[in-house]
Amino acid sequence: MNYNISLIPGDGIGPEIVAEAKKVLDKVCEKYGHTFSYSEVLLGGASIDVHGVPLTDEAIATAKASDAVLMGSIGGDAKTSPWYKLEPSKRPEAGLLAIRKALNLFANLRPAYLYNELRAACPLRDEIIGDGFDMIIVRELTGGLYFGERKTVEENGVKKAIDTLSYNENEIRRIAIKAFDIAMKRRKKVTSVDKANVLDSSRLWRKVVEEVAKDYPEVTLEHMLVDNCAMQLVRDPKQFDVILTENMFGDILSDEASMVTGSIGMLSSASLNETRFGLYEPSHGSAPDIAGQNKANPIATILSAAMMLRFSLDLDEEANAVEAAVQKVLTAGYRTGDIMSEGCTLVGTKEMGDLIAKEI
Amino acid sequence: MNYNISLIPGDGIGPEIVAEAKKVLDKVCEKYGHTFSYSEVLLGGASIDVHGVPLTDEAIATAKASDAVLMGSIGGDAKTSPWYKLEPSKRPEAGLLAIRKALNLFANLRPAYLYNELRAACPLRDEIIGDGFDMIIVRELTGGLYFGERKTVEENGVKKAIDTLSYNENEIRRIAIKAFDIAMKRRKKVTSVDKANVLDSSRLWRKVVEEVAKDYPEVTLEHMLVDNCAMQLVRDPKQFDVILTENMFGDILSDEASMVTGSIGMLSSASLNETRFGLYEPSHGSAPDIAGQNKANPIATILSAAMMLRFSLDLDEEANAVEAAVQKVLTAGYRTGDIMSEGCTLVGTKEMGDLIAKEI
Ligand SMILES: CC(C)[C@H](C(=O)O)[C@@H](O)C(=O)O
Ligand SMILES: CC(C)[C@H](C(=O)O)[C@@H](O)C(=O)O
């Protein structure tokens, strides 16, 4: 089959890791007889350099016309990066929020699991790890504080800044349905996280989630307050299967969960709209400090490409093949620096990509 | 000297742990020649039972007239607790928010440190613990999403709920000053946590914190995004000295930090206004499941009483004596169930209170 894929290499290590994912996808095409046509889309620093803004209408149009978007990572840390040509409020984080909104990517799926081979990298004690953990955060991505009205005003010479958190029933329902659908294919447990003892938006969240739950009698639903969830992720992450939450809580908890696994260089993510279309990217950042040094771990991006094969292109067998290839290379003891441990073989970004492609 | 202290026993294990703190304070009075007069103040379930509401004006007046408030814990878990006589939006969490606002308790200090004796209870690996950690979260407590306007409206038959996050420069300045003052007595590092890549309120927060920092040239200030902070607390908590943040982020991060220490039954907290007045309470909840069983750990409440002696009553020597007594009892190997480990002696709530009082 023929597919059109938009590539957003992005900033920092982005271009290097996307190149390795493409290498693996090329091998998939060769083996399974597909053709992928790639269009490059500029976002973040790369777009600022060329167009002066983090995201253009053309970029959105190209992305929309494709079957899926595969992204590296965007973000600038050093004061020298192109991001800093822009006002703080116009920075490429804005590019990221704008593309999420423009493509209506309301469902952010972030698996957080522990590879058995990487137990030693997990910051938690062995007793807590137990048989390991495997959870997925389903984060609402186009509502809440991220997209509410905001303004800074002055009252009697004192500046005051206001952000707004709002959710309506439809926005809550569609993300809840995603979470329950996913739970049905997993261990059938949804933990919905909110702050219903304080926020009106959380009380509405809880009500709608309970309504949706009625259509999934096999799934166990529990509600958890966000502060408690932040504790439970450290105390006993094994308890979680699917965590369903709103945008800002999801931002915080998904990063905490990925660090709890100790393998953030391994974790993929998908941002989906109501069709099969989605944007796929590693959970980690752009790591400008190691950019261009062939040190970055490309596995999270390669696994994101696998998610793309599965969710947007409906190529389950191919997705499984990529995931199995990653597993084989890990079992064989190859590691990039971030996941290196005694007795393993240290390899660079390109070598890791080669090794995985070879296993397809 | 004579002092007036308001006691809020609260719900669940609250009355038991407050009784032990009072036992220790009685011993302090005896030894140092003070007189503490106590007035009981009803809040939460206890107030609902008597008055039908979680907080009355009389309770506020009594608290205000005293030198400090010592609280157990409020909150109901079981569907049977008096909390459930109220509408969700009128629940005693409302009582807690109302008393914070009425007493203008804008500065919530939550120390999170690891007792050397309790290393085994810490969920993190020994390599990460290293020499241990000792941080304090300074959380803004009377602003942000907790106290913004909120409403639920209906548009074309679809319900929509709205919460508002606002901060003005004065609110940010006073909490920042608290954090820097505290840092001056510690390791002189402030990590200010926000989401300045998205929120207007966070951008104002960052600006004001930077202004305040100019008055503290000896203190190192760093800014950290909230999602990154949630990761860093797991990856390397040793890096933190003082974490300064707004109300909701502080709620989440302080609970995460206390769980990271593994000793949540040991952690005290203080909520202060602009004078010496404050409300002191353990960081943990009301644990209704073990209420009335002489199982609860009273140490967090006893250490909260020590904070009260220091911050509100200016009794430094007495505060040190209480903290030293706790340390001695731990060193001697006495433990309540939550912190029990091999080779130690298991004791109940009352016995722990007796042991600590005896060491004063
Ligand atoms: C860069 C930032 C705006 C973004 C977010 O907060 O959503 C990032 O942290 C993420 O989680 O994708
Ligand atoms: C009970 C709740 C409203 C409260 C809060 O969120 O502030 C609690 O979690 C706390 O941290 O004291």
**CATH at residue A235:** 3.40.718.10
Q: How far apart are CA A114 and CA A127, in angstroms?
A: 14
Give the closest-approach CA distance of B63 to chain A in angstroms. 23
Could you identify the residue written with the tokens 């209420």? B291
User: B131 and B204 share a domain?
Assistant: yes
B2 is in an annotated binding site: no
Q: Do residue B170 and residue B252 come from a single domain?
A: yes
Domain boundary among B245, B261, B277: B261
User: CB-based contact (8 Å) between A57 and chain B?
Assistant: no
In terms of domains, do A132 and A225 share one? Answer: yes
B292 is in an annotated binding site: yes
| Residue of B11, B97, B145, B251 best suited for mutating to test ligand 2, as the one with most atoms within 8 Å of CB | B251
Contact A230 B255 (CB under 8 A): yes
Phi, psi of B74 (to 5 degrees): -120, 160
In a domain, B117, yes or no: no
Nearest CB partner across the interface for B204, out of A152, A248, A258: A152
Asked if A87 and A169 sit in the same domain, the reply is no
Look at residue A79 in the predicted model and tell me its pLDDT.
59
Interface check B197 vs A, CB under 8 A: yes
Helix (H, G, I), strand (E, B) or coil at A110: strand
Other CB atoms within 10 Å distance of the CB of residue A340: 14
A355 in a structural domain: yes
Ligand 2, closest atom to CA A227?
Answer: 9
Splitting chain A (360 residues) into consecutive groups of 10 residues, what average pLDDT does each group show?
Answer: 94 95 97 96 87 91 97 74 68 81 96 92 94 96 96 96 98 98 96 95 97 98 97 97 98 96 92 96 91 96 97 96 97 95 95 98
Q: Which of A218, A234, A261 is the last residue in one of the domains?
A: A261
Q: Which ligand is nearest to the CA of B199?
A: 1
Q: Identify which of A132, A149, A237, A219 has the alpha carbon closest to the alpha carbon of residue A178.
A: A219
Helix, strand, or coil (residue B217): coil
- Closest chain B residue by Cα to residue A90: B197
Distance A288 CA to ligand 2 centre (A): 37
Q: How far apart are CA A290 and CA A230, in angstroms?
A: 30
Tell me, yes or no, whether B172 lies in a domain.
yes
> Atom 7, ligand 1: which residue's CA is nearest?
A251
Same domain (yes/no): A253, A297: no
Same domain (yes/no): A152, A256: yes
Q: Which ligand is nearest to the CA of B91?
A: 2
- Inter-chain touch B88–A162, beta carbons under 8 Å: no
B206 and B318 fall within a common domain: no
Cα–Cα distance for residue pair A201/A117, rounded to 1 Å: 41
Does residue B11 form part of some domain?
yes
Point out the residues of chain B with pLDDT beneath 50. Answer: none
CA A168/CA B159 separation, integer angstroms: 6
What is the Cα–Cα distance from A54 to A38, expressed in whole angstroms?
20
A170 close to B (CB below 8 A) = yes
**B274–A contact, CB cutoff 8 A:** no
pLDDT in tens, B186-200: 999 999 999 999 999
Structure tokens at B139: 């959380």
Number of domains into which chain A is organized: 2
Phi, psi torsion values for B344, nearest 5 degrees: -95, 170
The bound ligand whose nearest atom lies closest to the alpha carbon of A194 is: 2
Residue ending a domain, choose from B244, B261, B278: B261
In a domain, A217, yes or no: yes
How far apart, in whole angstroms, are the C-alpha atoms of residue B345 and residue B356?
14
Integer angstrom CA distances of residue A148 from A93, A151, A170, A332, B154? 15, 10, 16, 48, 17
Amino acid identity at A314: D
Q: Are residues A227 and A143 in the same domain?
A: yes
For residue A306, the enclosing domain spans: 1-106+277-360
Residue-level pLDDT at B93? 73
- Tell how many helices (H) and how many strands (E) occur in chain B: 12, 14
- Ordered DSSP codes for B4-60: EEEEEEESTTHHHHHHHHHHHHHHHHHHHT-EEEEEE---THHHHHHHSSS--HHHH
Q: Which amino acid is at B190?
A: V
Residue B250 and residue B138 in one domain: yes
In a domain, A53, yes or no: yes
Cβ–Cβ < 8 Å for B332, B347: no
Q: How far apart are CA B99 and CA B121, in angstroms?
A: 34
In a domain, B112, yes or no: no
Total-model pTM: 0.95
Give the model's pLDDT for residue B296: 96
Residues A85 and A42 in one domain: yes
Annotated binding site of A for Mg(2+): 227, 251, 255
Interface mutation vs chain A, best among B126, B171, B248, most A CBs within 10 Å: B248
Distance in angstroms (rounded) separating the CA atoms of residues A123 and A16 = 27
In a shared domain, residues A247 and A282: no
Is residue A302 in some structural domain? Answer: yes
* Residues of chain A contacting B233 with CB distance shorter than 8 Å: 256
How far apart CA A297 and CA A339 sit, in angstroms, is: 8
Pair (A326, A196) in one structural domain: no
pLDDT at B53: 86
Furthest-apart CA pair in chain B: how many Å?
69
Which burial class, exposed, middle or buried, applies to A152 when counting CB atoms under 10 A from its CB (0-12, 13-18, 19+)? middle
Contact B256 A256 (CB under 8 A): yes
Q: What is the pLDDT of residue B45?
A: 82
R_g over Cα of chain A: 20
CA distance A196 to B32: 45
Which residues fall within 8 angstroms of residue A142, CB to CB, at 6 or more apart?
Answer: A100, A101, A104, A105, A106, A171, A247
Cβ <8 Å between A196 and B88? yes
Q: Is B289 annotated as a binding residue?
A: yes
